[in-house]
Structure 1
Amino acid sequence: MVTGPTDRTAAGLARAIRDGEFSPTAVVDAVLERIHERNERTNAFVTVTDDLAREMANEAERAIDEGEPLGPLHGVPVAIKDLDDVEGVRTTSGSLLFEDRVAESDSPFVARLKEAGAIIVGKTNTPEFGLGVTTDNRVAGPTGTPFDPDRVSGGSSGGAGAALADRLVPLAPGSDAGGSVRIPASFCGVYGLKPTQGVIPNVTRPNAFASHTPFSTHGPLARTVGDAALSLDVMAGSHPRDPFSVPKGDEYRDAVDRPIDGMEIAFSPDMGVYPVDPAVREVLEDAVSAFERAGATVDRVDPDLGHDNEAILDAYYTMATVRWGSLLENLRAEGFDPLGEDRDRLRPYLVELIVDAEEPTTREYKRADVVRTHVLDGLVDLFDEYDLLVTATAGTTPFPHDEEPEEIDGVEIEPYRGWVLTQPFNLTGQPAASVPAGFADGLPVGMQIAGQRHDDDAVIAASAALERQRPWHDAYPA
């Protein structure tokens, strides 16, 4: 079947451009047209960079005409989360305080995408300063999942997930400090990978060490595992200004075709401690058999994380509150008064989260580190016996805007983050992906696949095996 540019994968587009089937300008025109036609439906984009995209497309076309070497993403449209900088484009961070701020330079991974030939078509929506697992702010409003725009797309990379699922763009990397790549992937039916800490450099200033509290990293989001691996190859590699960055190893794309025969997989939908909706469990129980058909062994287990979900979430909040508290100092350094005249310009949720939050003591912080250690030890013990752990990404399906769940399967939960199973891997820095597993009542369900540190290849290989057994590409809205 002949398809147009907006139906192609990133790898397929790059190949079609190299083969002369499409020109970069034709691809960009088609993508921009679809964004302008459909963005109102989900509100995935905050800013659409028409002029920049067409300028970059013209330059990409000139390079082809003059026979210059082409990068792996030459001519491929990419959207950037509105927490990250693109030179000459505004970075609002979802805040009225920065509604008109224009970036003076590219974030390091954005520069790498550009060097690989990618074309920036816009910035995707995020909650204010990325602090949320749903996506809403006072600059652009809420983003919905394309499967039901009245329901949340997840966060904080919710605009990226929605843009991908609605075929507005083939690649849209995000960032993840507590599930912000994996939750939108789950709620939008796309693939999202939080790699091992340090694989993609995260250059944070004024504090270069902020990304350890808890571990946070950028990660690829795409409609296919192959596209995610392709973009990860481009973005990965050490950076002198990120003290946690690591050198790049083998090509991640090679793992996409790697068989998983003999791989041993531990399956625990709830990780032994999290409430999971029965409808989500049913989807996962059906999907996990695909690994066995692909040659892997699957055992049902209950990991020993040393604590219940409330204690793990409390430790996460303690560490995150320390990190979020530094945001106040950063805002003051930029001339804002978050405790005074600028308080009302901040979203109430953010005021509650950082402005009015009680600052943890050093003892509380160190106790959280001990909980973090117990979680790490429990997962390492499991990975001594198994190659991967498979769980739910979220304990629920996408819910209506401003209706955070207060209970799951009769169990009362903390409404803002108590329904996600992603945070343990931000405490440990281990790689974890969310893969489309199926649907419950027409809404997407994500399966989380996690591995030992620096075993990203195994996570990618298993993700690709599931994709081959249970392809999801025809399930997106028309």
Structure 2
Amino acid sequence: MTNELLFAPAWRLAEGIRDGTLEPTAVVDAFLERIADRDDAVNAYVTVASEHARERALEAERALEAGEDVGPLHGVPVALKDLTAFRAGIRHTFGCRAFEDHVADHTAAFVQRLEDAGAIVIGKTNAPEFGHRPVTDNLLVGPTSTPFDLDRNAGGSSGGSAAAVADGMAAFAQGGDAAGSVRIPAACCGVYGLKPSFGRIPNVSRPNAFQNQSPFIDKGVLTRTVRDAALALEVMVGPHPRDPFSLPDTGAAYQAALDRSVDGWRIAYSSDLGVFSVAAVVRERVEDALEAFEREGATVDRVDVAFGYEFDDLAARTRYGLMQALSATIAENVERRHGVAFLERDAESVPSTFRDRIAAGREVSAVDLGGMNRVRTAIYDEIQDVFDGYDLLVTPTLSVLPIHNDSLEDVRVDGTPVDPQAGWLLTWPFNMTGHPAASIPAGFVDGLPVGMQLVGPRFGDEAVLTASAAVERRRPWLEAARSNLVD
């Protein structure tokens, strides 16, 4: 029964807790025991909030015994990425040695919404320092592995969250996505990763309320099923008066979207977005998964995407420049608020990859940013051109299978080296545009998971969920994922 509980969908746990067949304390204890058994190998957690989680579980039981109205996630354990998912009173490190003993003094708006719905924070998950890499490794606790091969990385930067969900160490988990940081680890860990439309989940950022637009930084979720993601999204969405980019509440019923049909949909498939190299085994597995749409009544067409730039030029003019400027902004904010200087006395607390980005970001001018946004406009217009004729855009999520922990800077596609920071990620163009996107499990190659990326039209979160549910109906992945986990 314990294993069935650990790998049950979050919505089913919530249902069992509400109807009395499961007790919140038993659920929390089961996940804490799993963490104790498995996390030394996987390294998904930076902090396990055992005492906090058990106290909240007791409160959850008392509420049920008193006959109180409870939320849709009542008693369900959730893991939070240790980056911006602050929870007051719980250690918060940003994945950085300089903050090893730092404790959050406030609770993030989206975390508060999860708790208001009854979710129980069970711990904080591993991430690279300030989310600056597409893999999860840091000087504080080291790399997080995909539970399908402990020598390979979970992907980043929400790798701890993805690995925890995949390995039965959390019912679901929160993540953040600035260049694919939800979708990348979802692909590496064989789980579902949803990045909603920019602003759908409020992100109250201080001291700079406007830093999350370049690139578009989204909060998202990593789950075992599409319904879990829809449920979490319903809880977390809605405007917030302190987030100038938060979207109005449209009243969308995201779980209802899962039961809609894709019959008659036109789906565009691009194997490489015109600029990426993709491994043959990845391409084959994704193209095999496309048949799910056809079996559901949709038409799939191959399309050519043309951004008007070669890869190196495109990455330099958008992803690199914008992320460098963002890193410099983060470093300045950290120094002002906490007195930590990454390019000076605290340089040894972060790796050279982060220091180099900060230094480069300090050289980015307003004129440079204007030029980058012109290139972003070209990306945006090309994607919008696709949606002029199609309901959905599909690509591989990544170019390669999960990368080895000892070669994170040496990424090769069928033997040919590619840019380790951007060249294997078909995710980041959609952080330039703000379109909703998800990575859905497409299958396995030699026991390693492959992700398929589904991109929806502007504000088309329901479309992404509808399409994801269609794939899940035809190609359910839960049992296949469990059977491929490393013991």
SS in 2 for 1:389: strand
Correspondence for 1:25? 25
In structure 2, what is the Cα distance between the partners aligned to 1:24 and 1:354?
Answer: 44
Contact 1:145–1:187 at 8 Å: present in 2 too? yes
Find the partner of 1:272 among 263, 267, 274.
274
In structure 2, what is the Cα distance between the partners aligned to 1:305 and 1:248?
Answer: 33
Alignment of 1:321 onto 2:324: yes
Bigger mean CA offset, 359-368 vs 65-74 = 359-368
In structure 2, what is the Cα distance between the partners aligned to 1:470 and 1:344?
Answer: 47
Correspondence for 1:287? 289
SS in 1 for 2:238: coil
Correspondence for 1:473? 478
In structure 2, what is the Cα distance between the partners aligned to 1:204 and 1:3?
Answer: 38
SS in 1 for 2:331: helix
Contact 1:312–1:424 at 8 Å: present in 2 too? no
Bigger mean CA offset, 309-318 vs 404-413 = 404-413
**1:380-425 Cα shifts (integer Å, max 9, x gaps):** 0110100110001110010111413443235542122211011110
Task: State the number of aligned residues.
Answer: 478
Amino acid at match of 2:75: G
Amino acid at match of 1:20: G
- List alignment gaps of at least 5 residues for structure 2: none
Amino acid at match of 2:42: T
Alignment of 1:359 onto 2:363: yes
Cα deviation for residue 348 of structure 1 reads 1.9
**1:150-203 Cα shifts (integer Å, max 9, x gaps):** 101000000001001101111101000000000000000000011000000011
Correspondence for 1:10? 10
Amino acid at match of 1:236: V
Amino acid at match of 2:57: A
Contact 1:151–1:399 at 8 Å: present in 2 too? yes
Correspondence for 1:164? 165
In structure 1, what is the Cα distance between the partners aligned to 2:370 and 2:392?
Answer: 29
Percent of aligned pairs with the same amino acid: 52
Cα deviation for residue 464 of structure 1 reads 0.8
| Structure 1 residues 70 and 200, CA gap change in structure 2 (3 angstroms) | same
Contact 1:321–1:359 at 8 Å: present in 2 too? no
Amino acid at match of 2:228: D
| Structure 1 residues 397 and 3, CA gap change in structure 2 (3 angstroms) | closer
In structure 2, what is the Cα distance between the partners aligned to 1:338 and 1:410?
Answer: 36
Correspondence for 2:215? 214
Correspondence for 1:375? 379
Amino acid at match of 2:194: L
SS in 2 for 1:31: helix
In structure 2, what is the Cα distance between the partners aligned to 1:322 and 1:294?
Answer: 44
Bigger mean CA offset, 246-255 vs 186-195 = 246-255
Cα deviation for residue 362 of structure 1 reads 2.4
Contact 2:267–2:301 at 8 Å: present in 1 too? yes
Contact 1:275–1:411 at 8 Å: present in 2 too? no
| Structure 1 residues 163 and 23, CA gap change in structure 2 (3 angstroms) | same
Amino acid at match of 1:160: S
In structure 2, what is the Cα distance between the partners aligned to 1:150 and 1:357?
Answer: 33
SS in 1 for 2:449: strand
In structure 2, what is the Cα distance between the partners aligned to 1:320 and 1:16?
Answer: 43
Find the partner of 1:253 among 252, 255, 265.
255
Alignment of 1:227-242 (within 5 A): 227-242=228-243
Correspondence for 1:202? 203
In structure 2, what is the Cα distance between the partners aligned to 1:406 and 1:174?
Answer: 24
Bigger mean CA offset, 57-66 vs 316-325 = 316-325
Cα deviation for residue 463 of structure 1 reads 0.6
Alignment of 1:57 onto 2:61: no
In structure 2, what is the Cα distance between the partners aligned to 1:311 and 1:252?
Answer: 38
**1:6-47 Cα shifts (integer Å, max 9, x gaps):** 121110001111111111111111111111111111100111
In structure 2, what is the Cα distance between the partners aligned to 1:356 and 1:301?
Answer: 36
Contact 2:71–2:118 at 8 Å: present in 1 too? yes
Find the partner of 2:413 among 391, 408, 417.
408
Alignment of 1:140-155 (within 5 A): 140-155=141-156
Amino acid at match of 2:470: A
Correspondence for 2:458? 453
**1:200-220 Cα shifts (integer Å, max 9, x gaps):** 001111100000010001001
In structure 2, what is the Cα distance between the partners aligned to 1:350 and 1:331?
Answer: 14
Cα deviation for residue 288 of structure 1 reads 0.6
In structure 1, what is the Cα distance between the partners aligned to 2:128 and 2:246?
Answer: 26
Contact 2:267–2:390 at 8 Å: present in 1 too? yes
**1:222-262 Cα shifts (integer Å, max 9, x gaps):** 01001011001111111111111012221111111111111
**1:109-147 Cα shifts (integer Å, max 9, x gaps):** 100000000011100000001111000112111100000
Correspondence for 1:127? 128
Correspondence for 1:45? 45
In structure 2, what is the Cα distance between the partners aligned to 1:348 and 1:402?
Answer: 17
In structure 2, what is the Cα distance between the partners aligned to 1:341 and 1:304?
Answer: 45
In structure 1, what is the Cα distance between the partners aligned to 2:2 and 2:341?
Answer: 56
Amino acid at match of 1:70: V
In structure 1, what is the Cα distance between the partners aligned to 2:113 and 2:275?
Answer: 40
SS in 2 for 1:150: strand
Contact 2:145–2:163 at 8 Å: present in 1 too? yes
Find the partner of 1:443 among 432, 448, 451.
448
In structure 2, what is the Cα distance between the partners aligned to 1:236 and 1:142?
Answer: 31
Contact 1:186–1:393 at 8 Å: present in 2 too? yes
Find the partner of 1:310 among 299, 305, 312.
312
SS in 2 for 1:385: coil
Cα deviation for residue 311 of structure 1 reads 2.3
In structure 2, what is the Cα distance between the partners aligned to 1:356 and 1:292?
Answer: 46
SS in 2 for 1:172: strand
Contact 2:325–2:361 at 8 Å: present in 1 too? no
Amino acid at match of 1:60: A
Correspondence for 2:432? 427
Alignment of 1:388 onto 2:365: no
SS in 2 for 1:466: helix
Amino acid at match of 1:47: T
Once superposed, what is the RMSD of the aligned Cα atoms? 1.4
Contact 2:325–2:360 at 8 Å: present in 1 too? no
Tell me the TM-score normalised to structure 1 length: 0.98
In structure 1, what is the Cα distance between the partners aligned to 2:340 and 2:69?
Answer: 46
Cα deviation for residue 441 of structure 1 reads 2.1
